[in-house]
Structure 1
Amino acid sequence: MGNKERIHVYSEIGKLKKVMLHRPGKEIENLVPDYLERLLFDDIPYLEVARREHDYFAEVLRSNGAEVLYLESLVATAITEGNLKEAFVAEMISEVDIESEGIKRELSRYLLDMPDKEMVDKIMAGVRKSEIGVKEDYNDYPFIIDPMPNLYFTRDPFACIGSGVTLNSMKTKTRRRETIFGKYIFSHHPSYKDSGVGLWYDRTEPYSIEGGDELVLSKEVLAIGFSQRTDKEAILKVAENIFKQNVGFKTVLIFEIPKTRAFMHLDTVFTMIDHDKFTVHPGIEATLRVTAVSYDLAKEELVLKEEIGTLEQILSKYLDRHISLIRCGGGDKIISQREQWNDGSNTLAIAPGRVITYERNYVTNEILDKHNVSVITIPSSELSRGRGGPRCMSMPFIREDLD
């Protein structure tokens, strides 16, 4: 790994060295029942406890050798030079539905008068109409800029793959502005703007892809979910861009999963935890279709092949070892569905065979332990209300290479 290389992720399980989080902020307290569906939430976490749980998560990562970066601080540092702060605010406002030019100017002035970090936090938290002098009627929608409560799931707006990133085109309008943060980090932050970070997909592309669907199984094999939030056309574009750059990946496995909220992303039903072990939600196995994508250099075109066989057989074939699947809840219909709802399959590997999970998924955790997986549990009574687990809440920037 070169001295200037700032993104280095060639596996799901290599020892985690650097990771990005977002500590839940005031955006959580701007959730109310009437707007939960609009903001993609099912419940309202209690912020004080959610922060305490998140801080515990961050400390577990640090105590296991990972440097923890925070999204909000990275963005604030990225916009300090020249007129970047003005450009950043203008881009954020341009993606909000505001017809009045006067209100746009007042909103811009309001945000630009703040210190950089405070401004970033405010954009994340949302801006109410009353804050810029616009009258709020009790029965009207109160926000001029929507809060971004999904931000603590840092896995989704962009994904680190190899030495580059996919700057994602999010499925829902609610989350599209989140990717602007990644754009400024990789274009303007001093640590990343000149470090040769590859761009495998851009947020302006018409087809959607989200980071929870992107898994790096080995230095040669990627898995990407064709899901509720990720289009197949986007997967093929990512594959083509990576293959053309010749950064080592040879195969992209497309996993088609049911397009429902319970199975929102691939990593909510399927994660890698050791060289030869995966967690899986048993509810997807019967419906799962896998297509292998490779690249014909001579013809300069993608080659697609539908795979036949069990999930274990397909993974064993492409990872060149016998693979075992550990089923969420032990495969029990009630237990697996309950623990899946609280992301029992969404494990974060911090080293081969060493994972972070939610403590509430105790049945799955006990099964992992019996399979010689070292399990570190974290409290999650409030964090889990957002429907995402430890992998969802983290974006690795650097992992050690596997032997």
Structure 2
Amino acid sequence: MGKLSGLTVIDLTQFLPGPMLGVMMADQGARVIKIEPAAGDPTRSQAPFENGHSVWYANLNRGKESRVLDLKSETGKAELADLCREADVFVEGFRPGVMKRLGFDYAAVRALNPAIVYCSISAFGQEGELAHHPAHDLAVQALSGFLSVNDGTDGTPVVPGVPGADMAAGLTALSAILMALIGREKTGEGDYIDCAMFDSMMLWCAHHAGSAIAGGEPPVSARQRSLGGAAFYQVYRTSDERHVVLGAREMKFVTNLMTALDRPDLIPIAERDAGEQGELIAFLRETFASRTRDEWVEWFADKDVAFSPVLDFREAFDAPHFAERGLLVEHEGRHHLAPPIRFASEPDWVPGHVPDLDER
């Protein structure tokens, strides 16, 4: 019995934000009913595949039921209406206005079930100038300012390795839904949540966009401690064309490393403002280029410095820590990333079944 056992969730979402929200609820025991079109969620056809299912689809939709409904037909509308009457949560990820045209906006669903918690996930929210602007993660990151600091040393923005807007929206929507469910315990009433990917990202910039938040200039990566302007928060190339990072700026780590490298005279440079540490960065670039990545891993083994090698996903998944934390579980011939939320009072987690299309 998971923490969310007894809750029923209707999931009308595809791709990333909504499915991630749904699988996090399913992993904790909620009954999640995924509504799919006749062709299925597009991620069903996304390679690679393992034992008959897309790895992407399996990891974000395990433990759910699948129902194919034509929401433009009277039969499909009637079946969804029946589900709404008994559900606790309704999540949709269509562009603004679509659910109203289908007859299942919040007002219509609330009329069927006043206790339901209804969450709409979209790129820019249900109202406003950008509400109907088509966008996936990259466009949202571009318009929110985040892409401007996801740049290389020449200042050119690059495609992010993490779909931050998608993930932020999924986590924000999950948090909001759980808050609304707690609130329902007091009032008996459900609520409506307008969750925008754009809005969800903005709190994530408080630590490096302070000047812009206060009405001033935007951050420039080369002058930011967390974005490339500091020697001890930096990526360095090694002699074998791999990379390592220094990942903490506390002076104790600076002292430990620079003493071990016989250059304590450079320690004061690390106390300068970001963007003014060029001499130290240059020294560390030359130093790290003198050995291979794995040689540096061995050299740092007995040193108290926030150092890490840059691993690819294969290396990360094969690392002992990954196994020690139980982060990859094999079930029904497929590999699943384990949920990061685990409770000491509950048994070891087992992945839910991955549904075939319309497998109820």
TM-score, structure 2 as length reference: 0.31
Could you say which structure has the higher strand fraction?
1
Is the radius of gyration larger for structure 1 or structure 2? Answer: 2
Normalising by structure 1, we get a TM-score of: 0.29
Structure having greater relative contact order (Cα 8 Å, sep ≥ 6):
1
